[in-house]
Amino acid sequence: MLTFGLKKTKKFGVIIIDFPDPSNYSLGKLYSLQFYKELERLTTPDTKVVVQTTSPYFAPKSFWCIEKTMNQIFPFTKAYHTYVPSFGEWGFSMASFEPVNNKIYRRLTDLKFYDYNFSQLSYFTKDMKAKDIEVNRLDNQILVRYFDEEWGKVQ
């Protein structure tokens, strides 16, 4: 597991992050600007990072807060979402230091839920958008407050 202050010098071409949702201040740190600064040390100029970013439908402020925070470190981010049967509408964000290339290198056949049309995954209806979102920092933990406010309405 990646921790703050990691001294490793190994670099990765792909980093996939599936942290628990930021439901408390300890977990909120994993989505903070400081975390992404630390993560940057493990990347190369062409590294692709993907992070699960909660539901853009039930928690749009939380979703876009994570995206905005990642974008402070990675100049190219791309938010997307898809229906996950056990979770509902769920979001992710891809980040890189170079424009994200939608080129498909390997195509699998007979997939039930994915048709390789990434542009559909990055389309958001009005109820999945949010304005005036802050960056999640260790000193404000705004993401945890957004998350609590939004998911508190659902439960």
Q: Give the whole-angstrom CA distance, residue 155 versus residue 108.
A: 37
124 near 79, Cβ under 8 Å?
Answer: yes
Q: Give the whole-angstrom CA distance, residue 47 versus residue 66.
A: 18
Burial environment of residue 83 by CB neighbours within 10 A (0 to 12, 13 to 18, 19 or more): exposed
Which amino acid, residue 61? K
Tell me if residue 61 falls in helix, strand or coil. Answer: helix
Q: How many CB atoms lie within 10 A of CB 122?
A: 14
Q: Does the annotation count 127 as an active-site position?
A: no
Residue position matching structure tokens 């407050």? 145
Q: Give the whole-angstrom CA distance, residue 65 versus residue 110.
A: 35
Among the listed residues 18, 110, 127, 139, the single catalytic one is 18
Active site residues: 18
